[in-house]
Amino acid sequence: MAHEIHLKNNKYRQWVKAGLGLGYLKEGLAPFCDDIGRQQHNDIINKIQQTKTPQPNVPCGTCQITTLQPDHVRVSKGICPLNQDKCNCCFPNNKRPCPNNVCGAIYDSIIQYHASIPPVPFWKNSDVQQWSTEPWEVCKCFINAPGYKDKTSAVDTDCTGLLHVIINNNYFHSHIGCNVAGPNNLFSKVRQYRNEIFHSSNMELEESKANCYIDDMIAVLQDGKDLLHRQDAQQAVRKLQDLKKKDFIITTVDFDEILGQINEEMKKVLYSVDDAATKEEYDDLKKKFIEFKTKMSEEKEGEKLENEKELSELKKTIMELESQMVQEKKEKLEMEIEHADLKKKFTVLETLVSEQKEVKQLNDVCHTCICIFALKKIKIIC
């Protein structure tokens, strides 16, 4: 069972709660993103199989993004008909068509589904060789930020990445009630919260601000189109609502969760362009990671001292019981030895009496000895 942690600084407590909220938001969004991503992938593959001549040979594991020739052809030099900047169609000299007749079509579909104008898929996050078989490799092209190449599923992806997929992918928009493409939409607002939380100057938040963050996370998961009717999303909503309760308990497991999130943020910064601003950002995150880990260690040390005190008292009690058992065992052994000795003596006397019972005087002497022996030892054990 995870130990409860008492945080005296309320602003720090609110910061921890906001960080936990991001984790719960991810829990609510991941199954939804996984399901819709698979639906999109199935639709793309089915469409390719129905429209391509010759029929594509799925799967394909040979293409590279730098050398893949799209299915579409440039309008003129440097002009892409799909309005993508620096599209592969604009540099055809070293490009080759997919030998399985599928990857070029998927490339086109990703551009067509991208919601930004002009479309800007982030190809570096994805492995082209898995496009034909792994839906999440296609979804990652809609995460317009580095650091997600090693994420193999929605569950592996943080809430920022999941929100990127929802916001930048038109296929997802048909499953969202609010206008995701509109300015200052709720999903885009919540996407910024991770930066505001983990890149703040200190690890503190006003309670009103933390609750505002959590309320918007709840609103995302209660979007009226699909999410409101998903059990996993509404379970996450209940967890977010519990965060706002005054008696909410923060545990060492929660500390580990926040540490993991900060560590993930540090990894993403390392994937970014290596400039002064990025280095400063990374150093700041590393400092927060160390400070937070220290706080957690201090909390755990406090629990450790309390537990050690209880353990010491328990050991003392056990030692007393063991000592008492040893003493009782010793006394029992002594009694058994004394019993055996008395029984032996009694048997000898009984034999003498039996042999000389004709001689009344001797019998009287033996009887007297037995009585004296009995009085001396208190009792004879037969």
pLDDT in tens, 243-256: 998 777 777 677 77
**What is the number of structural domains in the chain?**
2
161 and 238 both lie in a single domain: yes
313 and 215 both lie in a single domain: no
Give the pLDDT confidence of 6-55 residue by residue, as tens digits.
Answer: 566 788 888 889 999 999 999 999 999 999 999 999 999 999 999 887 78
**Cα–Cα distance between 293 and 291 in angstroms, integer?**
5
**Cα–Cα distance between 363 and 129 in angstroms, integer?**
111
195 and 306 both lie in a single domain: no
62 and 159 both lie in a single domain: yes
Residue 356 lies in a domain: yes
Query: What pLDDT score was predicted for residue 59?
Result: 87
pTM: 0.71
Query: What pLDDT score was predicted for residue 62?
Result: 92
Residue 99 lies in a domain: yes
Residue 257 lies in a domain: no
Q: Which domain holds residue 321?
A: 299-377
Give the pLDDT confidence of 107-139 residue by residue, as tens digits.
Answer: 999 999 999 989 999 999 999 999 999 999 999
Angle at 329 between CA 328 and CA 332, to 5 degrees: 85
Residue 256 lies in a domain: no
Residue 219 lies in a domain: yes
Looking at the predicted structure, is the pLDDT value of residue 336 above 70? no
Residue 276 lies in a domain: no
Point out the domain boundary residue: 246, 280, 308: 246
Confidence grade of residue 274 (pLDDT, cut at 50, 70, 90)? very low
What does R_g of the chain's alpha carbons equal in angstroms? 39
Q: Under 8 Å CB-to-CB from 8, ≥6 apart: which residues?
A: none
**Cα–Cα distance between 99 and 97 in angstroms, integer?**
6
232 and 318 both lie in a single domain: no
Point out the domain boundary residue: 202, 227, 246: 246
Residue 323 lies in a domain: yes
Mean pLDDT of the chain: 79
Confidence grade of residue 373 (pLDDT, cut at 50, 70, 90)? very low
Point out the domain boundary residue: 246, 265, 280: 246
* pLDDT, greater one: 259 or 237: 237
Stretch 185-196: mean pLDDT, rounded? 91
Query: What pLDDT score was predicted for residue 1?
Result: 43
Stretch 229-248: mean pLDDT, rounded? 92
Task: Tell the burial category of 379 from Cβ atoms under 10 Å away from its Cβ (0-12, 13-18, 19+).
Answer: exposed
**Cα–Cα distance between 163 and 289 in angstroms, integer?**
24
Task: Tell the burial category of 95 from Cβ atoms under 10 Å away from its Cβ (0-12, 13-18, 19+).
Answer: middle
Look at strands 250-251 and 4-5 and give their pairing: antiparallel
80 and 209 both lie in a single domain: yes
Count the residues in the chain: 382
Residue 112 lies in a domain: yes
Conformational region of residue 76, where left means phi above 0, alpha means psi within -120 to 50, and beta covers everything else: beta
DSSP annotation string for 209-272: HHHHHHHHHHHHHT-TTTGGG-HHHHHHHHHHHHHTSTTPPEEHHHHHHHHHHHHHHHHHHHHS
